[in-house]
């Protein structure tokens, strides 16, 4: 019985590698995106601390003006990070689309592999059944020959 050989196994392995490359890229983009989200969270925390600082009494006008300039700069930074986050979101969607396409190509080859493997197994079972039928026929013929020889021996001994 021959072993199963999938004629497109090399292409199937290549598709798996391509999918893994896209998965790694998606993980990288998501890490970068999460870094931007963390920066936004840190900036919002810093802004909250800034406003808390402004609420305490006894601040000079110069200090208040400096804090106001810093607050304006800080809001601009948060806005820029928001723009950067939207760009990462678009990039994530593009990479996810590529991952879905790569997965679909791999799964198509997996289905073809499974289909050919099932056909190969069916053929093996058919061949095995034919061999078992042949063995059963040979055994049946042999058993009849042995029974006939025993019967002739009994008749020859009785005569």
Selection from 99, 48, 54 nearest residue 78 by Cα: 48
Could you give the CA distance from residue 66 to residue 80 in angstroms, rounded to a whole number?
A: 21
- pTM across the whole model: 0.70
Q: Enumerate the domain spans of the chain.
A: 9-113
15 burial level (CB within 10 Å; 0-12, 13-18, 19+): buried
Per-residue pLDDT for 159 more than 70? Answer: no
Q: Flag whether pLDDT at 158 surpasses 80.
A: no
Q: How far is CA 147 from CA 1, 33, 127, 143, in A?
A: 34, 84, 30, 6
Separation CA 135–CA 105 (nearest Å):
45
CA distance 124 to 131: 10
CA distances from 35 to 15, 38, 58 (A): 30, 5, 37
- Per-residue pLDDT of 15-63, as tens digits, reads 999 999 999 999 999 999 999 999 999 988 888 888 787 777 887 888 8
9-55 and 61-158 helices cross at what angle (nearest 10)?
Answer: 150
Identify the pLDDT of residue 103: 96
């Amino acid at each position: 019985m021959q072993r199963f050989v999938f004629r497109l196994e090399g292409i199937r392995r290549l598709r798996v590698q391509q999918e893994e490359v896209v998965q790694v890229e998606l993980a990288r983009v998501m890490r970068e995106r999460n870094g931007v989200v963390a920066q936004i969270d840190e900036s919002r925390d810093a802004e909250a601390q800034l406003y808390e600082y402004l609420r305490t009494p006894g601040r000079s006008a110069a200090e208040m003006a400096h804090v106001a300039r810093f607050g304006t700069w800080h809001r601009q930074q948060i806005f820029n990070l928001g723009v950067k986050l939207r760009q990462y979101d678009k990039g994530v969607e593009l990479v996810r689309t590529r991952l879905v396409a790569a997965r679909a190509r791999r799964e198509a080859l997996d289905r073809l592999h499974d289909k050919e493997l099932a056909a190969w197994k069916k053929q093996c079972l058919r061949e095995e059944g034919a061999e078992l039928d042949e063995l059963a026929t040979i055994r049946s013929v042999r058993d009849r020959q042995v029974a006939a020889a025993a019967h002739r021996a009994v008749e020859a001994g009785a005569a």
